[in-house]
Amino acid sequence: MIAGINIYEILTLTSILFFIGLYGFFTRENLITVLLSIELILNASALNFVLINTYLYPDLLQGAIFTIFIIALAAAETALAIAIIINLYKLIYSVEVKDTETMKY
Amino acid sequence: MEAILFYILAALIIIFAVASVTSRKILRAVIYLLFVLISIAGLYFLINYNLLAAIQLTVYAGGVIVLFIFSVLLVHHVELELEKTPLKRKIIAGILSLLGLGITLWSIFTYTFKTATTTYSSIEVRDIGLKLLSYGDGGYILPFEVISVLLVAVMIGAIIVAKGEKLKEN
């Protein structure tokens, strides 16, 4: 628990981070930058798990374990998505969302 | 002192997150994301979750960001600027995000959390490891195994997808 900080300030911080990621997800037109926004969203939720665990149930470990799972999932998702993006670039020489009309070849 | 550190880290996180989703140079956006991730690791250190901070630094700053930079350098010129997003879409996305943020904050601030009063010490790595491998009540052996299988599957899948077939002429 952070001395002098209550849980509302922390939840405000993570909510702002989440919706910044959502804004990026809506406005970006490049597949890599869309992935960056997804990373922001996942990090906001992981931070939420840890901080709520710390503030409300400090003697349990669930938040930390779920955060480890979220980080593993985020790494897996990034690796696979970047593989797809590179393959797509080899096919159509572009990674813009508007050029991505077919994913099957 | 801890409160001041928290405010500094929070300001860094928000500033660099905004810079990361609005920057038009793609490599800079990736580096801003790196700063966001490092600041989040700082927050983990601040609440004594040392293991999570280490995982955050190694997996994200060490692995994911390197992957991003690698793919950016592979598919873009470094100096290339992204296209400008139409103003209309920016406005609509901003309104939607602010609306969602408002609803979320409203529901957070109208709920009274029962903050725990017990004293809190740092979490040992040993406890997390035992919990992950315990098959008793509340153990996490099954999700742990599932995530291991998932990581192997993703590794094989990424290799196969990125290798691809020989390009057909189109």
- The domain limits of chain B are 2-123, 124-170
Q: Do B20 and A24 touch (CB under 8 A)?
A: yes
**Structure-token pair, residue B153:** 């599957």
Q: Do B3 and A1 touch (CB under 8 A)?
A: no
In three-state secondary structure terms, A101 is coil
Q: Bin B139: left if φ > 0, else alpha if -120 < ψ < 50, else beta.
A: beta
Are the beta carbons of B94 and A23 closer than 8 angstroms?
A: yes
Find the residue in A nearest to B151 (Cα): A76
Pick one of 3.40.50.2000, 1.20.120.1200, 3.30.365.10, 3.40.50.300 as the CATH number of B2-123.
1.20.120.1200
In three-state secondary structure terms, A96 is strand
- Per-residue pLDDT for B15 more than 90? yes
DSSP A2: -
Tell me the pLDDT tens digit for each residue of B72-128. Answer: 888 877 667 777 778 888 899 999 999 999 999 999 999 888 877 766 666 778 888
Closest CB from A27, A36, A54 relative to B20: A36
Tell me the pLDDT tens digit for each residue of A36-89. Answer: 999 999 999 999 999 888 888 888 888 888 999 999 999 999 999 998 888 888
pTM attached to this predicted model:
0.88
Please give the domain boundaries of chain A with CATH numbers for all domains.
Answer: 7-99 (1.10.287.3510)
Q: How far apart (Å, rounded) are the C-alpha atoms in residues A37 and A18?
A: 9
Q: How far apart (Å, rounded) are the C-alpha atoms in residues A24 and A32?
A: 11
Are the beta carbons of A78 and A31 closer than 8 angstroms?
A: no
Q: Do B29 and A47 touch (CB under 8 A)?
A: no
Instruction: Name the more confident of A100 and B166.
Output: A100
Residues of B in contact with A30 (CB under 8 A): 26, 82
Burial annotation A59-91 (CB, 10 A radius, 16+ → b, else e): eebebbbbbbbbbbbbbbbbbbbbbbbbbbbeb
Are the beta carbons of B30 and A49 closer than 8 angstroms?
A: no
Q: Nearest CA of chain A to the CA of B79: how many Å?
A: 15
Q: How far apart (Å, rounded) are the C-alpha atoms in residues A13 and A20?
A: 11
Q: What is the CA radius of gyration of chain B?
A: 21
Residues of A in contact with B17 (CB under 8 A): 17, 20-21, 40
Q: How far apart (Å, rounded) are the C-alpha atoms in residues B31 and B99?
A: 29
Q: How far apart (Å, rounded) are the C-alpha atoms in residues B1 and B9?
A: 12
For residue A23, which phi and psi values (nearest 5 degrees)?
-60, -45
Overall average pLDDT of the B145-153 stretch? 93
Closest CB from A4, A11, A51 relative to B3: A4
Question: Which residue, among B1, B14, B21, B84, would best test binding to A if mutated, counting the most A CBs under 10 Å from its CB?
Answer: B21
The DSSP-derived string for chain B is: -HHHHHHHHHHHHHHHHHHHHH-SBHHHHHHHHHHHHHHHHHHHHHTT-HHHHHHIIIIIIIIIHHHHHHHHHHHS-TTPBPPPPPHHHHHHHHHHHHHHHHHHHHHHHTSPP----S---PPPHHHHHHHHH--STT--HHHHHHHHHHHHHHHHHHHHHHH-PPPPP-
Residues of A in contact with B85 (CB under 8 A): 27-29
Question: Which residue, among A61, A62, A77, would best test binding to B if mutated, counting the most B CBs under 10 Å from its CB?
Answer: A61
Confirm whether the ipTM is greater than 0.85: yes
Overall average pLDDT of the A13-26 stretch? 93
